[in-house]
Amino acid sequence: MNSEFPIISFDIDYTLFDTDKFRMYVPSDLTMWDIQQLPFDICVYPEVLSVLPILQRAFRLGICSISEIDEYQRAKLTRTGLARFFDPDLVFIGNDIDALLKEMKQTVPMLHYAVDDLPTKLERIKVVYPEVVTVRVKKGKHAVKTFPFQSDYEIDDLHGLGRIVFRN
């Protein structure tokens, strides 16, 4: 991956990964399951595997994901095959957004695009990276909710991201 490429940071749940579908298969507490038996691979949104390779040609791709259990988020990336699209130096997963963004800012001084389903998280990212273009993916449990923070763009799925990043 070319270190000169602009950076796009993605959330995992409701952005790359269909968490609602996953919960249909695994409705109970995740810690009760063997991580190797969880059906991560069937829960990637359909457009993700076609869009990420195209973006990867012109951008460095990263992850900024908040999760109570870091191990499960990493398993989603590896078990689905998505990890191959992301620069390992740009993968940030943790349970505290402020600590995560502080660590991220030390490693990633300039972030060009942030893609997430949750406007409150995009707002926090915008505080740390005022120049970032925020893109809200309207999927999952937050899709129809309105929030005080308005992202720069809203898309229904990742196909819309290409139209944004390749015209800017």
Query: In this structure, is residue 1 part of a structural domain?
Result: no
Arithmetic mean of pLDDT, 45-55: 96
Domain carrying residue 44 = 7-165
Give the distance between the most distant pair of CA atoms in the chain: 46
Residue 143 is classified by DSSP as: T
Domain count, the chain: 1
Give the pair of three-digit tokens for residue 152. Answer: 């720069």
pTM of the complete model: 0.93
Query: In this structure, is residue 13 part of a structural domain?
Result: yes
pLDDT tens column, 147-156 = 888 999 999 9
Q: Which residues have C-beta within 8 Å of that of residue 50, sequence separation ≥ 6?
A: none
Separation between Cα atoms, residue 55 and residue 123, nearest integer Å? 23
Query: In this structure, is residue 2 part of a structural domain?
Result: no
Say yes or no to pLDDT of 14 above 90.
yes
21 three-class SS: helix
pLDDT tens column, 82-126 = 999 999 999 999 999 999 999 999 999 999 999 999 999 999 999
